[in-house]
């Protein structure tokens, strides 16, 4: 039977790695991201390699109207979405509360909270009609503990945690699974985005660590979708072996 996965933020990192693993397991994909060329390249590669269909949704999740109209207007035969990976998100800056940039705060809130809500709402409406579906929300260890200079990024991930809990309650009557996945440090484009292209600083985040890879996280995401229909992983936190939580690391110094 046909299976469809909708992945936001599929042009890099966890979203892109998830696109490969879901396609390898026979899912047709709806892929989202703002970088159109990267979406096109990913769609071409996946269609060629896995013989599945790929629909591109090149929208900015911050734009409420674009999210709702593009999801309402996806072709009818793509509306039976089985899995949503609500993943698009970012950190911008790592600054003291009193020194942080308001544009960074606004963009993180608009993407990680508002965009995340828009996509979740639009897709859950489609799942509610069919009384089935699985929503996987990308939280973070930063939504479990707050760290210095994490302020608003952490707050957005605490919001993801809270919204995941309420989605699970409110969507219970529709038979929809809601899983919150909370990774620790993972080597993707995340840090280069956070530090605005400053590669040495971005790399220093992983000093002395063997961090998670995008593929590690995608495997765990996929695993959550393989359980029997009556079983739901509600909340799953994962990190590399050298990370205990958002704050404590065992870095190798030699
Ligand atoms: P990447 O930077 O590698 O990928 C982020 C993806 O989000 C890109 O595809 C980007 O695409 C997309 N994106 C960002 N903003 C928007 C937007 N406004 N509209 C649509 N797409 C957008 O990061 P990760 O894969 O590491 O992160 C994915 C998620 O996981 C995020 O929510 C992040 O907060 C979370 N996370 C990351 C961790 C890490 O250490 N890497 C750990 C824990 C959680 P494009 O630029 O083309 O729009
Ligand atoms: C990303 C993990 O610890 O860099 O959510 O904030 S962290």
* Distance from C-alpha of 70 to C-alpha of 65, rounded to nearest angstrom: 8
The answer to whether the CB of 151 is under 6 A from ligand 2 is no
Measure 173 CA to ligand 1 centroid, in angstroms.
Answer: 30
As a whole number of angstroms, the longest Cα–Cα distance in the chain is: 57
pLDDT per residue as tens digits for the range 143-159: 999 999 999 999 999 99
Q: Which domains are delineated in the chain?
A: 3-238 (3.40.50.720)
pLDDT for position 177: 98
pLDDT for position 22: 99
Closest C-alpha to 32, from 52, 50, 3, 5: 5
Q: Which of 116, 143, 190, 243 to mutate to test the pocket of ligand 2 (most atoms within 8 A of CB)?
A: 190
- pLDDT beneath 70, residues of the chain: none
Site of tokens 């593009």: 70
pLDDT per residue as tens digits for the range 12-32: 999 999 999 999 999 999 999
- Torsion sign over Cα 39, 61, 70, 171: positive
Phi, psi of 248 (to 5 degrees): -95, 125
Residue 3, both tokens: 């299976």
pLDDT for position 253: 87
Question: Which residues pair with residue 135 across a beta bridge?
Answer: 84, 178
Tell me if 67 sits within 8 A of 119, measured CB to CB: yes
Q: Is 153 a catalytic residue?
A: yes
């Amino acid at each position: 039977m046909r299976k469809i996965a909708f992945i936001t933020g599929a042009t890099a990192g966890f979203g892109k790695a998830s696109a490969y693993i879901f396609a390898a397991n026979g899912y047709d994909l709806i892929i989202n991201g703002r970088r159109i060329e990267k979406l096109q390249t990913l769609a071409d590669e996946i269609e060629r390699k896995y013989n599945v269909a790929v629909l591109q949704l090149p929208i900015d999740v911050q734009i409420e109207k674009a999210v709702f109209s593009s999801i309402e207007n996806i072709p009818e035969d793509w509306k039976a979405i089985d899995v949503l990976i609500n993943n698009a998100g970012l950190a911008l800056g790592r600054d003291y509360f009193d020194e942080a940039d308001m544009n960074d705060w606004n963009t993180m809130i608009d993407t990680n909270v508002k965009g995340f809500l828009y996509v979740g709402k639009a897709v859950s409406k489609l799942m509610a009609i069919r009384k089935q579906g699985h929503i996987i929300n990308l939280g973070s260890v930063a939504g479990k503990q707050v760290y210095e200079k994490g302020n608003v990024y952490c707050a957005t991930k605490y919001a993801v945690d809270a919204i995941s809990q309420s989605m699970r309650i409110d969507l219970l009557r529709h038979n929809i699974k809601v899983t919150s996945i909370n990774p620790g440090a993972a080597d993707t484009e995340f840090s280069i985005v956070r530090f605005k292209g400053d590669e040495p600083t971005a790399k220093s985040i992983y000093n002395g660590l063997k961090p998670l890879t995008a593929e590690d996280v995608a495997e765990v995401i996929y695993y959550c979708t393989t359980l029997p229909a009556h079983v739901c992983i509600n909340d799953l936190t994962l990190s590399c072996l050298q990370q205990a939580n958002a704050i404590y690391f065992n870095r190798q110094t030699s």
